[in-house]
Amino acid sequence: MRVQILGAGCAKCKQLLANAEQAVAGLDPPVEIEKVEGIREIMKFRVLATPALAVDGVVKAAGRVLNHDEIRRLLQNG
């Protein structure tokens, strides 16, 4: 499983990344986290607002910072 954080590096993007790292800590099998910062790469996901979070290439949330519990629920529920 791969979690992608989409954002150019603003404070909210950094917070979402930190929350995602906390959410996946200790999960088995390990979850890969990728930071996507390039605007062209972000545009490929067709999001209108950042930060955004994608799981295995599918956008699950955009325009807000999910807390670690919300992220963990997304990962458990697919």
> Is position 10 annotated as part of the catalytic site?
yes
Q: 3, 5, 13, 16: which one is catalytic? A: 13
To 10 degrees, the CA torsion angle through 16, 70, 52, 60?
Answer: 160
- Give CA–CA dist 60/29, Å, rounded: 20
> Is position 40 annotated as part of the catalytic site?
no
- Give CA–CA dist 36/76, Å, rounded: 22
Q: 10, 18, 27, 49: which one is catalytic? A: 10
Provide the annotated active-site residues: 10, 13
